[in-house]
Amino acid sequence: MNNEEIIVSKIFDRFEFARDKIHVQKRLRIISDPFSREEFEQIIEYLHDELGFKIAHHIVGIDYGEDLGFIYMLGNDEHIIFALKEKVSKENPEINSMTKYYPSLLMHELELVDLFGAIVKDLPDVPSYPLPDGWPKGNHPMRKDWNPAYFDHKTMTYNPPAKEVKEDEKQ
């Protein structure tokens, strides 16, 4: 077994729920399927505390439709990139800050708040990033249903066209 496979097997031995949901994509790449918030937190703690993944490169926010996905790109001394995914519903997009393990994730978590509308608990009181002051609340540009064509630069307002009501919905 190579290093990547050893890491994956250790996770499978520890967490039965993770079995077959984490894959070695190629040399230096391990990619997981999306985990629930609770499952994700157990795995990331294990990766940080026991498997030597002390580096966090960044977080990729992704709009899965009904859900929001957050891909944490973690690294170890062997330069493996572990893409660990977390998925939460858009109705309740609450996650915990992982800055307790990785201080360098602060800016990336702030980005998830502004661009994807994630609610990140336990973030320190720092200025928002990266959207400008005066950006209208509830507008998260990286969500797929947010269309830049409806944003008015002068008034800083988002004005989508009125939703067409189908005939059967009227009744």
Partner 1 sequence: MSDNSSNRIVIPLGPQHPALKEPGSFTLTLEGEKVVNAVIGIGYNHRGLEKALESRTYIQNLYMIERICGICSHTHSVAYCQAIEEMCGVEIPMRAKYIRVIIAELERLHSHLLWLGVAAHEIGFDTLFMYAWRDREMVLDMLAELCGNRVNYGINTLGGVRRDIDDNDAHEIKKILRVLHNQISYYLELATNEPTLIARLADVGKLNHDDALKFGAVGPVARAAGIANDVRKIEPYAAYDEVPVNVITDDHGDVLGRTLVRVKEMLESISIIRYCLDNLPAGEILAKVPRKVPAGEMISRTEAPRGENIHYINSDGSDIPYRIRVRAPSEANWHGMKHMLEGSFLADVPIAIAAIDPCYSCTDRAIFVNSDNGESRLYDWKGLREYSIKWHRDRGLNIADIQIPMAKNYIQIQRKTND
Binding of partner 1 by 129 (CB under 8 A): yes
- List the interface residues with partner 1, window 4-33 (CB under 8 A): 27-29, 31
Q: Which of 12, 23, 55, 76 binds partner 1 (CB under 8 A)?
A: 55
CB 139 within 8 A of CB 158: yes
The least CB distance from residue 79 to partner 1, in Å, is 5
Across 143-168, b (16+ Cβ under 10 Å) vs e yields eeebeeeebeeeeeebeeeeeeeeee
- List the interface residues with partner 1, window 131-150 (CB under 8 A): 131-132, 141-142, 144, 148
Alpha-carbon distances of 4 from 23, 76, 77, 79, 134, rounded to whole Å: 9, 11, 12, 11, 46
Residue 97 bridge partners (DSSP):
none
The least CB distance from residue 72 to partner 1, in Å, is 11
Q: Which residue has the tokens 């989508």?
A: 160
Scanning 3-11, 15-23, 75-83, 160-168 for contacts with partner 1 by CB under 8 A, the matching segment is 75-83
- SS3 assignment, position 10: helix
Q: Which of 9, 36, 104, 157 binds partner 1 (CB under 8 A)?
A: 104
d(CA 7, CA 52): 10
The least CB distance from residue 16 to partner 1, in Å, is 25
Judged by the rule CB under 8 A, the positions of this chain that interact with partner 1 are 27-29, 31, 54-58, 60-63, 71, 73, 79, 81, 83, 102-104, 106-107, 115, 126-127, 129-132, 141-142, 144, 148, 151, 153-154
